[in-house]
């Protein structure tokens, strides 16, 4: 465990520096706070991240549909790029469907990418994969 010093302020007024613990592993945290408390903190942090991913997807110049936002939530990786699919993951999905002989799904994914967006194409392929299309 190490410590980090943070300046605490309120309303633009500095109140003082406080030292906070930074735990090196989950065992240290659960020893200090208990398993249930650490789990609840992790759940809250994940919920906040997923709400941000959803909100960011559904606002702006090109808002995503609820289904597209849901696909981003399902594709979310902690420490990743906010759940946004990458070209690399899209191409990996295309390859999976092509290798499995599911060319019709692969071609529909490619068309969505060309006509709509990477997110829409990734969401379509992820939905098909989750539904078991690779094994049917």
3-state secondary structure labels for all residues of 63-114: CCCHHHHHHHHHHCCCCCCCCCCCHHHHHHHHHHHHHCCCHHHHHHHHHHHH
Same domain, 102 and 52: yes
Confidence of residue 29 (pLDDT cuts 50, 70, 90): very high
Same domain, 52 and 76: yes
Same domain, 38 and 73: yes
Q: Is residue 135 assigned to a domain?
A: no
Considering its fold, how many domains does the chain have in total?
Answer: 2
Looking at the chain, the whole-number percentage of residues with pLDDT higher than 70 is: 96
Domain enclosing residue 124, as ranges: 34-130
Residue 6: how many CA atoms within 13 Å on its side-chain side? 8
Q: Is residue 63 assigned to a domain?
A: yes
Same domain, 70 and 112: yes
Confidence of residue 37 (pLDDT cuts 50, 70, 90): very high
Q: Is residue 136 assigned to a domain?
A: no
Confidence of residue 56 (pLDDT cuts 50, 70, 90): confident
């Amino acid at each position: 465990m190490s410590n980090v010093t943070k300046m605490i302020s309120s309303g633009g007024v500095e109140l003082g520096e406080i030292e906070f613990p930074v735990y090196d592993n989950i065992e240290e945290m659960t020893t200090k706070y208990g398993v249930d408390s650490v789990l609840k903190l992790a759940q809250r942090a994940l919920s906040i991240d997923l709400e941000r991913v959803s909100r960011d997807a559904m606002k702006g110049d090109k808002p995503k549909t609820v289904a597209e936002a849901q696909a981003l939530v399902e594709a979310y990786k902690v420490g990743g790029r906010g759940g946004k699919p990458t070209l690399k993951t899209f191409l990996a999905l295309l390859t999976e469907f092509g290798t499995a002989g599911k060319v019709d799904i692969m071609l529909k994914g490619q068309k969505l990418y060309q006509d709509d967006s990477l997110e829409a194409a990734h969401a379509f392929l992820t939905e098909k994969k989750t539904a078991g299309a690779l094994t049917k």
